[in-house]
Amino acid sequence: MTPIAKNALLVIAACAVSIGATAQNSAQPRKPKPAAAPAAAPLFYASRSDAMALADDIAARRNLDREWVRQAIGQARLLPQVPKLMLPAPGGATAKNWRVYRSRFVEPIRIRAGVRFWQENAAALARAEQEYGVPAEVIVGIIGVETIYGQQMGGFRVMDALATLSFDFPDAHPRAADRRAFFRGELEQFLSLMDRTGTDPFTPRGSYAGAMGLGQFMPSSWVRYAVDYDGDGRIDLWKSPTDAIGSVAHYFKGHDWQTGMPVWYDVQFDPGRLQLPALLALLALLALLAPDILPTFTAARMAELGATPLGAGAAHAGPLALVELQNGGETPTYVIGTENFYAITRYNWSSYYAMAVNALGREVAVARGR
């Protein structure tokens, strides 16, 4: 039975090493330790023909100085640990668990840091909410989940990370070709951005994937959505919380954020539709879950299929999605996502991520209110 089918039946039912070490005898003569192998010299991409070919292509299409681009890519270093971080954990996939995932982000350290961040940047958050229609708690949730309000912005040289993922993305990844092309596009955007701003491409630091600043913007997102929100004539997503706040809000507005719309609604399953007969109930739930997080159904159609949006959700005018959040071997959690829920997943394609952002923002708002 598929995982969705198992989860469907759960909904139907809910509706009715030790390490040994041998001590060396001190009386025995000690064998000399073998000499440590010399550390491998770092790999610079100047020696790679594929890297130099891409450098020439970027320079030509972007009208950049050819030697500058070749030097930038050529001096980038392979980061051996980065390709490994792109692969699933060894030993098979771990069962998804919303409660465990939530606990990683909605916890006292982030909540306290979020309250401080909100207090220190209340004016910028209020202005972003007014101008872009994105609630302060959503912006606070994003920056808290991404970097704990600037505490963890990443220490990798962005140039090295993007070069590594452009030329040495692991072939074992199921979407290796697509992801390699994505990172080559990000490398191109990054070099173009560094040229326009007159920045040394080896200065910016970020995540192992090349994301930068308090909101962890990839270069393409920086180019499209980053704004000088503090009005000092430059965009700084590392040291200017005001720029970061305005940029996150602008990002969501650019991904069709709907002012005043909730992110999600609670759902009530109709026993009359989901219990008898069981096969039809299963088919109805599968139909609801088929579009995944893409809002597809009207509130009325969802109710017809046995999943009724509660509260204001019953009168919701736009498309909706039934979102399943697995809880390991326990009954999944279900919510009904709106177009704004989908907008949050444009930041990170994960329903768990969107729920964590919303939950952290709400908890910070409650703590600040106290």
What residues are labeled active site? 146
Q: How far apart are CA 79 and CA 273, in angstroms?
A: 54
Q: How far apart are CA 69 and CA 240, in angstroms?
A: 28
CA distances from 266 to 93, 130, 240, 263 (A): 29, 27, 37, 11
Kindly tell me the burial class for residue 1, based on how many C-beta atoms sit within 10 Å of its own C-beta (0-12, 13-18, 19 or more): exposed
Q: How far apart are CA 206 and CA 111, in angstroms?
A: 23
For 70, residues 6+ apart whose C-beta sits below 8 A from its C-beta are 46, 52, 55, 56, 59
User: Which structure tokens are listed for 274?
Assistant: 């989901």
User: What is the enclosing helix (H) or strand (E) of 350?
Assistant: none
User: Which structure tokens are listed for 31?
Assistant: 């064998």
For 321, residues 6+ apart whose C-beta sits below 8 A from its C-beta are 291, 292, 293, 294, 295, 296, 297, 336, 337, 341, 342
User: Do residues 87 and 173 lie in contact, with contact meaning Cβ atoms separated by under 8 Å?
Assistant: yes
User: Which structure tokens are listed for 120?
Assistant: 């220190």
